[in-house]
């Protein structure tokens, strides 16, 4: 197990076997995102995509009060952009997550607000503590949750999303579960995350890696293009070493020995 501090110690990266733990380390600011957090997450996701031994990434916030409260409004620069640059920092983070083929798990330990909802939605799976709160309060400061819509609109229904965006009011963990924002609400958050990780790391790395690639590409395709893409992809799944090993293990009634290839 190794832990490293990234720029300004705002983001901690800890490798525990096949799992990478990323912790936003700004509890005094309710884990609001700094430039260092955004840049660090982009770098970590890019590196993770090249690491064939990595099986999952867990994203969380330091302490017990907040997962991520969004942009740090205290800086006065949260919405200051270089308008000559067509691609901006937080949007680049969402792009990096979309291009990541390692399962991303959100461990939502507390308040998940504004841009924090984008971090939640960019993850593939999410488990929340009962005290977690979720919201898009941007309208309360005169803006709108624009970038996070790219990852939220396919996750929850339009009515629920419109309510969150237009009223700016927060909801609790149980309601977040009911509308599909999270997979589970757990009293013992760490135990639930470990249980989920155990359910992932015993599966075929190659199938999961190619599967996430498949799922993320299907999101923007109409039906005919989608079905054409999937019928070609299933043939590629079958060509992997993991596919041959998995089927052999099934026939021989034994546990598979995955190569990840």
Query: How far is the C-alpha of 89 from the C-alpha of 174, rounded, in Å?
Result: 32
Are the CB atoms for 3 and 14 separated by under 8 Å? yes
Of 28, 39, 138, 169, the catalytic one is 138
Q: In the numeric block, which tokens belong to residue 257?
A: 């020995």
Q: In the numeric block, which tokens belong to residue 246?
A: 């998995």
Residue closest to 244 by CA, chosen among 225, 227, 261: 261
Is residue 138 flagged as an active site residue?
A: yes
> How deeply is 25 buried, as exposed, middle or buried, from its count of CB atoms within 10 A (0-12, 13-18, 19+)?
buried
**Other C-beta atoms lying within 10 Å of the C-beta of residue 4:** 10
Are the CB atoms for 37 and 67 separated by under 8 Å? no
Query: How far is the C-alpha of 205 from the C-alpha of 123, rounded, in Å?
Result: 18
Catalytic residue numbers read: 138
């Amino acid at each position: 197990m190794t832990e490293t501090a990234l720029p300004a110690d705002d983001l901690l990266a800890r490798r525990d076997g096949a799992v990478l733990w990323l912790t936003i380390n700004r509890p005094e600011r309710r884990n609001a995102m700094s430039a260092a957090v955004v840049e660090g997450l982009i770098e970590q996701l890019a590196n993770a995509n090249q690491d064939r031994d990595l099986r999952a990434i867990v994203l969380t916030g330091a302490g017990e009060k907040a997962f991520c409260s969004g942009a740090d409004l205290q800086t006065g620069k949260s919405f200051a952009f270089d308008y000559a640059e067509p691609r901006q920092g937080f949007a680049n983070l969402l792009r990096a997550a979309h291009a990541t083929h390692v399962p991303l798990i959100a461990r939502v330990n507390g308040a998940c607000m504004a841009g924090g909802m984008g971090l939640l939605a960019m993850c593939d799976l999410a488990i929340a503590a009962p005290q977690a709160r979720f919201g898009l309060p941007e309208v309360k400061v005169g803006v709108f949750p624009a970038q996070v819509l790219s990852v939220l609109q396919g996750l929850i229904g339009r009515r629920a999303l419109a309510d969150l965006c237009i009223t700016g009011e927060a909801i609790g963990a149980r309601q977040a579960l009911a509308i599909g924002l999270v997979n589970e609400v757990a009293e013992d958050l760490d135990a639930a995350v470990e249980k989920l990780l155990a359910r992932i790391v015993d599966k075929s790395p190659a199938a999961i890696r190619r599967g996430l690639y498949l799922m993320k590409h299907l999101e923007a395709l109409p039906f005919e293009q989608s079905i054409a893409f999937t019928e070609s992809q299933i043939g590629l799944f079958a060509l992997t070493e993991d596919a041959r090993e998995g089927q052999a293990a099934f026939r021989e009634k034994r546990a598979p020995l995955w190569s990840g290839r």
